[in-house]
Amino acid sequence: MKDIPQPLSAINSNFITELTTFIRMRGLSYSTEKTYVHWIKRYINFCGYQSRHDISSADINRFLEHLVIKKNVSPNTQKTALNAIVFLCREHLKQNTESLKYKRAKKGPKVPEVFTHREAIAVINELSEPAKLVTQLMYGSGLRINEALRLRAADIDLDVQSVTVRNGKGNRDRKTLLPTALIKPIKQQLALVEVLHDRDLDKGFGEVYMPYALAKKFPTQARGYGWQYLFPASRLTVDPRSRKMMRHHITDRMVQLHVTKAIRKAKIIKKAGCHTFRHSFATRLLENGTDLRNIQELLGHSDIKTTQIYTHVAGVHQSGVKSPLDN
């Protein structure tokens, strides 16, 4: 249950408890919370601060240079660390950071790796359930792996063929398309979920994790079928907050391992993984003439510039330019 926020009582530092409370009050996602706390702890340890009054934004440059020169981190990692520390100093500790100049590592343009349609299907065909259906949703609906794993039964609308992604990246909800080819396997998966849920109820269980204290507001819904995960775990586990036995969803690590093996079996030598299916979804839509704004909405990008990177991938094949060797 690593994607369920840990109770504040489990944190053994008063300052980190205070910081975590502040992050949650700001409404940031749990993944952002974990990332920020990780980098803030590293910053505090690196600078050797003994109390909150010692923390200073003046040491940011020194820490960033350490990450690049000593730890050889990527520009993206350095940027993530910077965002976390600026959040700590400017937002939480109310320090003035406007006059500071940060030395960012230079990042060259990076074109995402994508599968051809034949390669994507070849990998999918090497998979068994439930990893196969998860991967089909990544390729057919453009979902991130954890967006697919966190789907609940009620998030699937078979009548209008749509998938509702709740609390996606940036804590935003969105709708995306459900491919016709997945209607039958989705129905089979929902039937499996229902049978498993009925079995749990018979044994006195059947409750699932509900975010934002919804379980208290709607106490009966936590045992309802609609809230059950589309990809339930094979066994019950203890919820870290309520200490109740619940059935969570399967882990992203399990799916990633299966996809890695399937890529190897399909004899694909690209640097690829689960996220490559999402990149391939966007690229296929562009190649088929889908408007960039529509793709942005389906992917849940807040900035159109993020979506525009796929034009560099699709453009190579659509430009009509021929190599002189082919003339």
* Distant-in-sequence, close-in-space partners of 131: CB < 8 Å, separation ≥ 6: 254, 255, 258, 259
Catalytic residue at 241? no
Catalytically annotated residue among 92, 278, 279, 284: 278
Q: State yes or no: is 30 an active-site residue.
A: no
Name 35's bridge partners: none
* Selected catalytic residue, list 197, 247, 249, 301: 301
24 assigned to active site = no
Pairing of strands 237-238, 174-177: unpaired
Answer for the pair 228, 200: CB distance below 8 angstroms, yes or no: no
3-class SS string, 53-74: HHCCHHHHHHHHHHHHHCCCCC
Range 53-57 contact pairs with CB under 8 angstroms and sequence separation of 24 or more: 55/88, 55/89, 55/93, 56/89, 56/95, 57/85, 57/86, 57/89, 57/90, 57/95, 57/96, 57/97, 57/100
Question: Would you tell me how many other CB atoms lie within 10 Å of the CB of residue 101?
Answer: 7
- Please give the Cα distance from 118 to 245 (Å, whole number): 42
The answer to whether the beta carbons of residues 57 and 86 sit under 8 Å apart is yes
Catalytic residue list contains 253: no
Q: Looking at 132, 144, 152, 197, which residue is catalytic?
A: 144
- Give Cα 231 to chain centroid, integer Å: 16
Which residue among 41, 166, 169, 223 is the active-site one?
Answer: 169
- 301: annotated active-site residue: yes
Catalytic residue IDs? 144, 169, 275, 278, 301, 310
